[in-house]
Amino acid sequence: MSEAQLAKVRPVNRKNFATVKSDLPASQAMSQLLNNMKSVGGASGALQKELQVMLLEPYRYFMRIDPVPFIQQINIPLFAAFGGKDVQVPAKENQQSLADHLPGNPQSRIKTYAPLNHLLQPAKTGSLQEYYTIETTIDPTLLKDIADWIKGL
């Protein structure tokens, strides 16, 4: 998206995530999401299905949870990999947050792999539509790094 498009969509996304995190019943939350989407052209049938998924209780629970208290309790070595082209979990912000809250362990490794997407596949754009076009299920370099890390423990 262009910067102008992003500027228009960001407030809607914030409203939508607040709605998903809310205690509104799913039917009321869906009405609110659809209302929010009117300012950016509405929600097509496919997008409505995506919005319905966001209102499933497991997704809503996941969106409400604060991971920091759990991260602060990790007392074993950890290997964390982020995809630099991940459009669902931005690598820079999430890597920094993990590093800031993870108890110090010299055996832990946190790394961003610039060419990888959310599924840790080598990607051109990181777009969700690209997932199914990539033959590689997980990047071999990442697998080697994980194996070397385990062997080094």
Q: Three-state secondary structure along the chain? A: CCHHHHHHHHHHHHHHHHHHHCCCCHHHHHHHHHHHHHHHCCCCHHHHHHHHHHCCHHHHHHHHCCCHHHHCCCCCCCEEEEECCCCCCCHHHHHHHHHHHCCCCCCCEEEEECCECCCCCECCCCCHHHHHHCCCCCCHHHHHHHHHHHHHC
Q: Using a cut of 0.85, tell me whether the model's pTM lies above it.
A: no
Q: What is the pLDDT of residues 74-127, one digit of tens each?
A: 999 999 999 999 999 999 999 999 999 999 899 999 999 999 999 999 999 999
pLDDT at 56: 95
